[in-house]
Amino acid sequence: MTSPTAEHDEPAASAPLISVRNLTVSYNVARTGATLTAVEGVDLDVHEGEFVTVLGPSGCGKTTVMNVVAGLVAPTSGEVLVDGRPVTGPGPDRAVVFQDYALLPWRTVFDNVKFGLEMQKRLKGDGWRDRVQEAIELVGLSGFENSYPKELSGGMQQRVGLARAIVAEPRILLMDEPLGAVDALTREVMRDEIEKLIAATGKTVLFITHSIEEAILLGDRIVVFKSHPGAIKEVIETKLARPRSERSVQSDPRFLELRDHLWDALQAEATQAAVAGGS
Amino acid sequence: MSVLFATGGPRTGRGGLAAWLAGLSTGGKAAVIAVEVVVVLLVWQLVVGYWGLINPVFFPPPLAIAQGFGEIVANGSLAANAAVSAQAWLTGFTIAVIVGIPVGLLMGASLPVDKVVGPIAWTIYATPAIAYQPLAKAWFGFGIGPVIFLVVISALFPIMLNIAAGMRTTSPSLLRAARVYGGSQLDLYRRVFLPSTVPFLFAGLRQAVVLATIGMVVAELSGSSSGMGALIIKAANTYQTDQAFAAIGVVVCWSVGMTGIVTLIERRVAPWTRKARR
């Protein structure tokens, strides 16, 4: 498969931070014995400081690609390089924000935020306390340090998930539909906040979503997936000025153009998926 | 930020008595229960004691039971028998906890162990404790031995099987989060599997308290010269049903009290399990 990133005008001199090369992942379905191909022949380069959104219908394998980059799933063929080295497992250079928050219900906000540092054996000295506190302030949860996750709204729980990822100081932030489970109003507020936060920290982000608006608002580039099997359909540069906000972007002609284009692309996908699913 | 506070789930609509009960303070709820108890006792006293609609030998009224309680306290039979029972119960329950927790953890952690121990555990758990009673006498004689045995066999399996279930139902998403941040296998067990099993441990302990008490009384009912079960049988056999009911009341208080202690410990060590009252 030829790389659809040919039109990409990023300076080619710097090596990509994440390099997905001809990645194929298939699973054996234990119950039926059949082999299911989640993604096939995916090529994708992400450069340092880039914010890449991955857009596609559910079941198109976009989460699988993220899991391979995170080191949670091994490639069936092909490889993923991070900073030039093949990924063999999770590492401190990558952190994940999960769709279902994945907070430990028995831990307070503070103890959840420190969880990543704790797993990475980085709770030595006193500096970590200040860093945890800073991360909590950064996501706007000051005063909730001693609350349990179930006492917080979905949006606040995801803020905890975000703080937990940020405090681990990864170079790459992997976000798996982080706003998929929060309500619409909170989602819009948090999109803007994530935009600001990432701009301030300069992290490299792979952000999975099935929301067209989210993909455009947040991404420098949008990777559109198709399903059956999961593969990259096209890669589009948003070319929208930053800082962006929900309001400023929505009236931009470029936004409308992108939205129409992506809408057509996804609708064709969804129609095909429905036909394939029904056969 | 204030927008975020409005995102909680909607309260389910309620009306009438349910809403009134749900809105009561802790003291108010206690008062409702107290009134309920007084009304039941009063009706019971009137039906049996005052109007004599039921033969009091079969179903003594509350005041007679109170009198019976006074008698077994005065003649020392309550203290002597309760001490024997408490000793057997506590010994048996401790053994069940010491054996049940590690075996349950092993079952939850290892599929082979679960496959071997699981069917045996479920079979014994599914058998009524009373069925083991005659055998327990044959194996352990007529002292405290068979009582301890029945307490252990009654309390062991709810603890063991609940813990195993708790380990197995640990959220895969929490395990994934621990792995993403580089958690070792030991970290996964200490920081994810064990804490998420704690609510199951306490659920098992609460079941175990009730079943252990049943096992204890069953073991003492026949062929035992002492213990609360023996006290109940002796009183009933001599038509002192008021004393028998008083002894049953003491056993119920023990069971309810121990369950309450388990809940108190749970609130102390696992405050996150406390469900918001609806």
ipTM of the complex: 0.86
Q: Report whether the peptide linkage leading into residue A243 is cis, meaning its omega lies within 30 degrees of zero.
A: yes
Q: Which of the listed ranges A34-38, A72-76, A266-270 does the model predict with the highest average pLDDT?
A: A72-76
d(CA A164, CA A53): 21
Q: Which residue is it, tokens 């035992």? A: B224
Query: Whole-angstrom Cα distance, residue B50 to residue A108?
Result: 58
Nearest CB neighbour to B272, from listed A91, A105, A153: A105
Q: What is the reported pLDDT for A268?
A: 82
For residue B194, the chain A residues in CB contact (below 8 A) are none
Which 51-80 residues of chain A touch chain B by CB within 8 A?
A: 70-72
On whether any CB of chain A is under 8 Å from the CB of B4, the answer is: yes
Q: Using an 8 Å Cβ cutoff, are A231 and A23 in contact? A: no
Is there a contact between A91 and B182 if contact means CB atoms under 8 Å apart? yes
Tell me which CATH code domain B63-273 carries: 1.10.3720.10
Nearest to B174 among A104, A118, A185 (CB): A104
Q: What pLDDT, in 10s, does the model give residues B109-124?
A: 999 999 999 999 999 9
Lowest mean pLDDT segment, chosen from A29-43, A204-218, B3-17, B259-273 = B3-17
Angle CA B167–B173–B175, to nearest 5: 55
Residue A163 · residue A135 · CB < 8 Å = yes
Please say if the pLDDT value at position A104 is more than 70.
yes
What does pLDDT average to over chain B? Answer: 89
CA distance B159 to chain A (A): 21
Strands A231-237 and A221-226 come out as antiparallel
In angstroms, the CA A49 to CA A199 distance is 9
Q: What chain B residue is nearest to A119 in terms of C-alpha separation?
A: B183
The span from the CA of A146 to the CA of A240, in Å, is 40
What are the tens digits of pLDDT across the range A184-237?
A: 888 888 888 888 888 888 899 999 998 999 999 999 999 999 988 889 999 999
pLDDT value of position B277: 42
The β-bridge relationship of strands A94-97 and A172-176 is: parallel
Q: Residue B275's pLDDT is what?
A: 60
Nearest to B159 by CA among B230, B94, B216, B68: B94
Q: What is the mean pLDDT of residues B168-192?
A: 94
CA–CA dist B207, B85 (Å, integer): 19
A26: alpha, beta or left? (left if phi > 0; alpha if psi -120 to 50):
beta
Q: Are B198 and A106 within 8 A, CB to CB?
A: yes
Lowest mean pLDDT segment, chosen from A62-71, A98-107, A186-195, B156-165:
A186-195
Question: What pLDDT is attached to residue B142?
Answer: 82
Q: Which residues in chain B are contacts of A30 at CB distance < 8 A?
A: none
Contacts of B176 in chain A (CB under 8 A): 72, 98, 102
For residue A253, whether the previous peptide bond is cis, meaning omega lies within 30 degrees of 0, is no
Amino acid B228: pLDDT: 96
pLDDT score at A278: 45
Average pLDDT (B95-108) is 97
What pLDDT does A198 receive?
87
Interval A166-185: pLDDT, tens:
999 999 999 999 998 888 88
Is residue A204 a contact partner of residue A220, using CB atoms and an 8 Å limit?
no
Q: Check CB contact under 8 Å for B174 and A94.
A: no
pLDDT of B278 strictly over 80:
no
Q: Which amino acid is at B140?
A: F
Best probe of the A interface among B2, B4, B179, B268, by most A CBs < 10 A, is B4
Nearest residue to B91 (alpha-carbon basis) of B155, B164, B157, B159: B155
Neighbours of B185 (CB within 10 A): 9
B172 touches chain A (CB under 8 A): no
pLDDT of residue A276: 63
Specify the pLDDT at position A4: 45
pLDDT at A6: 44
Contacts of B277 in chain A (CB under 8 A): none
Give me the percent of chain B exceeding a pLDDT of 70. Answer: 93
Would you place residue B5 in the very low, low, confident or very high pLDDT band (cuts 50, 70, 90)? very low
Per-domain boundaries in chain A? 94-169
pLDDT at A1 over 90: no
How confident is the model at residue A174, as a pLDDT? 96
Give the fold, CATH level 3, of A94-169.
Rossmann fold (3.40.50)
